Structure formats: structure tokens, C-alpha cells
Amino acid sequence: MDGLFEQRRYLIPFRSSLLPQIFTDTLVIGGGVAGLRAAVAASEHGEVIVLSKGDLKNTNTSWAQGGIASVMDPADTLEGHVQDTLVAGAGGCDPAAVRLVVDHGPRLMRELFAWGMKADTDAAGQLDLGREGGHNHSRIVHANGDETGREVQRVLLAKARATSGVRIFENCFALDLITPTAEPGSPVMGAITHHPKHGLQMIWAKATILASGGAGVLFRETTNPPLATADGLAMAYRAGATLADMAYMQFHPTTLYLAGASRALITEAVRGAGAHLLDNSGHRFMQDVHPLAELAPRDVVSQAIVRRIAHQGGGSVYLDCRHIKDFATHFPGIARLLKRFDLDAAKDLIPIHPAAHYMVGGVKTDLHGRTDVPGLYAAGEAACTGLHGANRLASNSLLEGLVFGEIAGRQAAEMRGDAAVAKAMNGNGAKPAGWTGGARPAPVGIVSDIRPSDRGELDLTDVRSSVRSAMWKNVGLERTGQKLASQIEMLDFWARYTLDKIFDEPLGWETQNMLLVGALVARAALWREESRGCHLRLDHPETREAFRVHDCWRRGQMGAKAAPIGELAAEAIK
């Protein structure tokens, strides 16, 4: 990618020597499942600071209605979970990543239970395991029906707060990762942050773990909380890290679709409990599409819904839950949501439509959570570990956050010693600039000078709304080369009037991040001339073996570079 997106290394001008300085061993950016689990693991080898962009009740994790997929039933097998993940990933998964996550799942679930997680059980007191799309066995752990994410957030937050050496900064916006030079590959030494009370601060760290969540707010219709504006992906790209698989945005099949209502998620567990999808005529059309019917992988169900709506000339598709006994008991959160719109699942059909849900791509890592920038690790939705391939299997996301959060937190210990730091950063035994005894980074004289814009003012709210609407229309569930090329032109146009500005509050920084990551998503989707998983090109409907690769994007690199499946890690990582 070239142009204005390549020119901006930092979002704001600053002189590091003039800002307040904070020091820690490990900085974790993100307060969801991956970030909190990473913090607990990293606390075993040093001090930790966790940054949460907002309050900790509004992470993607806390919004997650679905459960955690893990092999907890003696009748189930690890191999079965592996195979279901590979099938859903449509040839895009790295098998080693899949096996790693699946193998660690049962242990980390038992750990959550030991820390106080309250999971749903049956009358005999055994785990009441559910089944969701793409799974051939009941292996989904839920909490209070549709509030699993909230329970996971509660347990991990309590654990982190009770862990010595962990500090949590809420409502703290990470603007950019600190690097001693602007060159891609320059080591990450922490982040520059903004707090509404304390203003700009430099947080210096031996290791930085990016666990900032996803990018759903790029799209007009999304299940994500308002804070999911792709900030972590953008700051990693500006710092020189490689992003991969950016075309793969997963669309959730079932969100409430009513005028005036936000696109609230209706968890896949509802279909796992037996709900049907009906068209305007009352026909259960998914039986004609896939052997698993409503429990087919999410890309299959979402695309079938859109085709059905087009086939019937508009109108709606409905979720039929009327035959599910005790719906409100099993799904209390959804029942409360429906009641606000005078809907009762026991009597009414629920109008639904797909919406942007999960960023499958992200910052490329190896199996240790390392990126190709020294000192920077990534975990959770912000990372591309190779687990999900071209389409995430239902309820694998919280599991991935647990597994790779722990791995990244432990792996960050390699940045503790002077020798390890020097080797990782320079490969020649020489200490990097600004590194002092004990591997503690010192506030080196980093300067970001940005010339004020001579262009006119702009309405950020209008730009943001336009970007989201255009992304939904042109880079949504159904894509064509013509629409994608048009979207790239639009984003480049908005960039000329937005990326040259200096903002002093999150709305501006978020908008700039959205433009950058939106441009990467559109370019990746244009480059990928095939249909695979959640990426549907109407002008290239076939799946092509030549594109069974990871598309990789790095600042200063023209266009995409391909990495073979199974070899996601760059040479610098190996």
C-alpha cells in the first residue's frame, strides 16, 4: 500500500522528553480475554500495566453472547475439534496453530473454573455443553445462557486485580507504539497514550502485547461495541508490523433487524438450541443449502440469508424460536432485548440480518505470539495466528484469547535480560539505543514533527458515517472488483482530507485509524480474486488454489506479499 497511509508514522506531534514518563516490564494494550490473561501470565516475570480504551464493561469479550468451544465431554475428541476448525477455515488455517489452541483448551477452561467461573450445568451438575454452527459435537461452554463473555470478563478481571504487580489503566487511549526510529522493524519500546485526566503520557516497556480487539465498527452494520475501531491494527501497521488475512471479516448471520434498533447479536447458541431460519413464506430454507442446515458454518448461513432476501425481492428472514421450551430462562439477555421491542420469542418471529462481527485477520504472529517487530506481541482478535483460516469456527474466539494471551504473556519474559533484548532487537549483541541496565528502556529523544494542515476543516462525524456506510455497501458480505476499486478511491480521497490533520481527542484518532485499516481491508479483498470462507467475490465465485495463502501487508511494502499456509511466521520470527 502506498500514498498518504505510508507517510504517517505517528498520529500526533510530540517530543518524548517533554511528556510524563511511566515504566513497566510488560505493557498490555487491551482489557478483554486476551489482554487480561496475558497480564496474569506476564506478572510471573515482572510488573504489568494493562490499558483499556474505555471502561472494562465494554470490551468485545464482555459483549460476547456465545460460549467457549473446548473438548470437555469424554465422548468428544481433540481431533474432532481440530477437524471442525479446519473445515470451517476453508483451507486457510495453519494446522499447527489449530492443534495448539485445541490442545490447550481443556486445561485453561479448568483454570477458569478454579478461578471462579460459573458455567451452565444440567440437572446432574455436569457441564451443559451446547452445539453451534460448524461443530459436529456439543462442546460449547456457556454461562447464564447468553452471557458467557460477561462472566469470562468478570473472572479474569478479578484475577488480574488480585494479582500482585498488575496495574490497570481504564479509559486510556493508546495512540501509537513507540519505536526509536521510523523504519519498519525498529523495536517497540512501549506506547504513547492519552488519558482524559492526565493527558499525553509515554509508557515505556520491555515487552508490549497488543490485545486491542477487532474492527467491526468499520462497517455500518455490526455486532461490536462502539470502541472496536481497529486502533491496534492501525498502530501496529504504522510501527512496521505485518498484518495478514485482512480480507477476512466474518459476518454473523443473526442480528436483530428492526428500524431504530442497534444490530444486537442473537447468539448462535439459539440455533444450537433448535431455532430455525424462515423466509417470507415460512420456508425453512437452510435445509436446502447445507447438511447441517442452520448449524452450517457462519459464512454459509450468512451468504444463504442474503441470497434468500434477494431471491424474494427484499423483505426479511426470520429466526423462529417459538418451539424452544423456556427460551427466556436459557437466553435471558436476548429475552430482555426482544421485550424492549414488544417481541416475545415464544410467540413471535424475530427479523434478522447478517452484520460485521469478527476480524479474522490481524497482526501476524508466530506460535509464541511474537510479531515480526522486536518487542511486540499480539493475541486475541487483534492477532492473526493462523487458527481461524478464512472463517472463524463458532466460539473459538474466546478460546484463542485464553490460549494465546497466556502464551504471549509468558513469552514476553524473553525481553527481560539485557542479552536477550539486544539479541532480539539487533541480532549482534549490541544494546539498542535507549536501553539501560536491567533491560529497562529509558526515555530516548523521540520526536514526531507533523506540519499543520493547510486544508479546510471537516466534519469527523460525517466522515466516519460515510466510511462505515461505504464499507458496508462495497466491502460487505458480497464483494466485486468494481465496488472494491471504487471503495479504495473513496478511502484515498477521505484520507487526503483527514490524515493530514492533527486531532486532540479520540474521535479524530479513531477516524484516522478506521481509514487506514479500511483501506487495508479493501485492498486485501481486491487482491484476493477468489471466494473463500467469509470472503465472497461475486465476480470470482470459485475457490482458487493459488490464493490458498496468507496475504501480508507491511508499511513501506508495495501491495500484498503471500505467505504459505503453515508458514505464517516471517523469516525474522524464526
Cα(479)–Cα(514) distance, rounded to whole angstroms? 19
- Residue 261 confidence (pLDDT): 72
Residue 299, Cβ density class (10 Å: 0-12 exposed, 13-18 middle, ≥19 buried) = buried
Marked catalytic residue, from 8, 271, 298, 468 = 298
Q: Could you state, in chain order, the average pLDDT of each consecutive group of 10 residues for the chain (574 residues)?
A: 76 93 97 97 97 87 85 96 96 96 97 96 92 90 88 96 96 96 90 95 97 96 93 97 97 88 83 93 94 89 92 88 92 90 94 94 97 97 97 94 98 77 42 43 70 72 95 96 97 91 94 97 98 96 96 91 75 39
The answer to whether residue 233 sits within a structural domain is no
The answer to whether residue 361 sits within a structural domain is no
Last residue of a domain, one of 294, 325, 354: 354
The answer to whether residue 28 sits within a structural domain is no
Global confidence as pTM: 0.92
The answer to whether residue 451 sits within a structural domain is no
Alpha helices, H only, 89-215: 95-114, 148-161
SS3 25: strand
SS3 37: helix
Last residue of a domain, one of 304, 331, 354: 354
Residue with cell 462525524: 461
- Residue 102 confidence (pLDDT): 98
H or E element in which residue 253 lies: strand 249-256
CA distances from 272 to 140, 324, 395, 444 (A): 10, 11, 12, 55
The answer to whether residue 290 sits within a structural domain is yes
- Residue 444 confidence (pLDDT): 64
Cα(39)–Cα(28) distance, rounded to whole angstroms? 7
Q: Would residue 298 show up in a list of annotated catalytic residues for this protein?
A: yes
Task: Tell me what percent of the chain is helix, strand and coil, each rounded to the nearest 5.
Answer: 35, 20, 45
Cα(129)–Cα(113) distance, rounded to whole angstroms? 15
**Would you put residue 238 in left (φ > 0), alpha (ψ -120 to 50) or beta?**
alpha
- Kind of pairing between the strands at 21-29 and 199-210: parallel
Cα(112)–Cα(440) distance, rounded to whole angstroms? 33
**332: domain CATH number?**
3.90.700.10
Domain range holding 535?
460-564
- Residue 242 confidence (pLDDT): 97
Cα(122)–Cα(240) distance, rounded to whole angstroms? 49
- Residue 516 confidence (pLDDT): 97
Cα(345)–Cα(334) distance, rounded to whole angstroms? 9
- Residue 98 confidence (pLDDT): 97
Long-range CB pairs of 505-511, under 8 A, 24+ apart, other chains included:
506/173, 506/194, 507/460, 507/461, 507/464, 508/460, 509/11, 509/173, 509/175, 509/231, 510/229, 510/231, 510/464, 511/460, 511/463, 511/464, 511/467
- Residue 290 confidence (pLDDT): 93
Sign of CA dihedral 241, 242, 245, 248: positive
Last residue of a domain, one of 329, 354, 379: 354
How many domains does the chain fold into? 2
SS3 476: coil
Residue 291, Cβ density class (10 Å: 0-12 exposed, 13-18 middle, ≥19 buried) = exposed
The answer to whether residue 120 sits within a structural domain is no
The answer to whether residue 365 sits within a structural domain is no
Axis-axis angle for helices 506-527, 231-238 (nearest 10): 80
Sign of CA dihedral 131, 132, 137, 140: negative
The answer to whether residue 398 sits within a structural domain is no
- Concatenating the DSSP letter of every residue in 407-436 gives HHHHHGGGGSSHHHHHHHHHSSSPPPTTEE
- Residue 426 confidence (pLDDT): 42
**496: domain CATH number?**
1.20.58.100
